[in-house]
Structure 1
């Protein structure tokens, strides 16, 4: 991936093994085959495809749930970038694979949104209940519940009273006979577990490096840490392995980007075998882990698992 756009998206795996992510401008859906071949690239009806989660549509076909905070970045005319917002609120939508909207959830009818923006970062279909949960990570730090028909059920109780500081991502854990919703509470550097009724089960892991994405695979928790790392945890949250850690990257001026000799913001050149700013994560049908990063031009990295644990491929997967 290359270009002046500041990639800020996610990645997900469809039921047939295809992957869906978005272009660096966060508006064009990229449907990829299992070996990275581009199968389709429709423009999507979103401002910024931030959180991306596979789901099932009303006709039984694959859809992609997108949390669109309606925010982004744009060149400021002085060699840097500045935040931009479009519209009054963000949206939570299910997209068909042609980029059109199949379903849109209503704005949460909470008084706080009369005064403040709704800027969702993640959408999670909860198969056990038919509900859809939406995390307002960049907005009011609430997680909202919707029924199978799209009716609003209210905020998740565990998210009230400032409990979370940027509930950035969510993942469904339905292994071992129970259902847990794992929340990446990014600015608290932790993972927490909620039950399907929205009650807090407990903290799963602490002292992480700004967890921005989480996936489940074979009883493990796989975490994309925004501060330049991938963490492999067991289901209880114990650290098994950390891969590609670059402790220096988050200290760099203009991280997740860098500056050139003229002082302009440009894409970095991360050291081989190191992450820069993991933002989205998924596991494909072969058990490989895909990580997309938050930076100018975007970056799509691949990890494979062997006898020694996970290892990072030596180059961008899409090169």
Structure 2
């Protein structure tokens, strides 16, 4: 695979390349822009595929102990647990054929996972070792679905008060709002043409960077994130032209996302990873073109090197290293990208 360094256009490119060489002192490929540079850790997380196989590597999270949890729809081991060096620590799960969304919430020993299953049309709250604590079935009581097959949940997010939000990203495009006890409290969104509606509401996250928590929801077909209040009021649209983004991942002041395809959803093997700052401005892409703003408007972004096929999720550790899980990419294990030391 030709993994060349891609660092910007001429105006900032020479400075960025020189800075990368000064810090690294070697010729390893470096990816990124505007002070955010990364090097791939070759061979990270690769296991014996006969004993610990993966199919689609859908999502990854890190627990309070620093362990990395990978969710795959391979039913010989739905969950693989790594340390940050890529060594397998544990595995579990054989009952989630449509394993898709993986979220983590809670504190310390009270942390728990939320798993969405697109084939079973359910959401599961589990302990970190896989014991099921609660199951959210399809919301029949809402009377917005003809049957359970019309409900295909892809992602979850947990509010500060414990309420659970479920994105029906492969179904009717609603955001379902549950109490911490699993009782349905409401819904918003749904399929439609206006701004408040959604199309491929693939991911959802709680964003507290501005203080008051809000919901960031993926509108992947339209290449944007939409910000809603916790009550479902549309507050903002973050346009990302050319980027068919998966779920938003908040880490510190930045927003990270895997871009499944670019410049549109019909272009296979064309993904990259995008990084936004607190002002929701794209500052760097890994495997993608430099983000360029003209007249305050972000220009179309595309893949710049064939580093990824279909990146599906990112996980960011405490050292700001990035882990990338991929869908339909030849059953590859996750990739790790080290943040280049000395860059801000």
Which residue pairs with 1:141 in the alignment?
A: 173
Residue of structure 2 equivalent to 1:234? 277
Indicate which of 56, 68, 83 corresponds to 1:19.
68
Shift of 1:6: 3.7
Distance in 1 (CA, whole Å) between partners of 2:332 and 2:185 is 36
State the distance in 2 between where 1:181 and 1:239 align.
19
Which deviations, in whole Å up to 9, do the C-alpha atoms of 1:91-116 show, x marking residues without a partner?
A: 11112233231111232123332345
Aligned mates of 1:142, 1:166 — CA distance in 2? 10
Report whether the alignment pairs 1:95 with 2:126. yes
1:307 deviation in Å?
6.6
* Greater relative CO (CA pairs within 8 A, separation 6+): 2
CA distance in 1 between counterparts of 2:342 and 2:244 reads 25
SS at match of 1:187: helix
Distance verdict in 2 for CA 1:201–1:46, change over 3 Å: same
Change (3 A) 1:218 1:5: closer
Q: Give deviations 1:143-184, integer Å, cap 9, x for gaps.
A: 10001211101213x446461111101122112322121112
**Aligned counterpart, 1:34:** 84
Pick the aligned partner of 1:294 from 327, 337, 341. 327
Of 106-115 and 274-283, the range deviating more from structure 2: 106-115
Find 1:193's aligned residue among 199, 217, 227: 227
Superposition deviation, residue 8 in structure 1: 4.6
CA distance 1:54–1:141, change in 2 (3 Å): same
Partner of 2:237: 203
Q: Do the aligned partners of residues 208 and 126 (structure 1) sit closer, same or farther apart at CA in structure 2, a change above 3 Å counting? A: farther
Summarize deviations over 1:202-255 as a string: whole Å, max 9, x none.
102331421013211231111110011111112232221111139xxxxxxxxx
Structure 2 length normalisation: TM-score? 0.70
Confirm or deny: 8 A CA contact 1:123 1:132 kept in the other structure: yes
Residue 279 of structure 1 aligns with which residue? 312
Q: Aligned pair 1:173/2:222, yes or no?
A: no
Matched residues in 2 for 1:165 and 1:139: separation?
10
Q: Kindly state the Cα deviation for residue 280 of structure 1 after the two structures are TM-superposed.
A: 1.3
State TM-score, norm by structure 1: 0.75
Structure 1 residue 51: deviation in Å?
0.7
Contact 1:245 1:274 in 2 (8 A): no
Retained in 1: the 8 A contact 2:57–2:70? no
Structure 2 vs 1, CA of residues 62 and 152 (structure 1 numbering), >3 Å: closer, same or farther? same
Aligned with residue 215 of structure 1, among 235, 249, 260: 249
Counterpart residue number, 1:105: 136
**Contact 2:272–2:308 under 8 Å retained in 1:** yes
Q: Give, in whole Å, the separation in 2 of the partners of 1:291 and 1:243.
A: 11
Larger deviation, residues 224-233 vs 45-54: 45-54
In terms of fraction of residues, the more strand-rich structure is 1
Which residue among 9, 19, 22 is the counterpart of 2:58? 9
CA contact (8 A) 1:7 1:25 kept: yes
Distance in 1 between residues matched to 2:249 and 2:283, nearest whole Å: 15
Q: CA deviation at 1:273?
A: 6.7
**RMSD over equivalenced CA pairs, Å:** 2.7
Distance change in 2, residues 1:7/1:235 (3 Å): same
Contact 2:191/2:199 (<8 A) preserved: no
Equivalent position of 2:97 in the other structure: 47
Could you tell me how far apart the structure 1 residues matched to 2:54 and 2:323 are?
21
- SS at 2:144's partner residue? helix
Aligned length: 266
Q: Helix, strand or coil: the match of 2:150? A: coil
1:117 aligned partner: 150
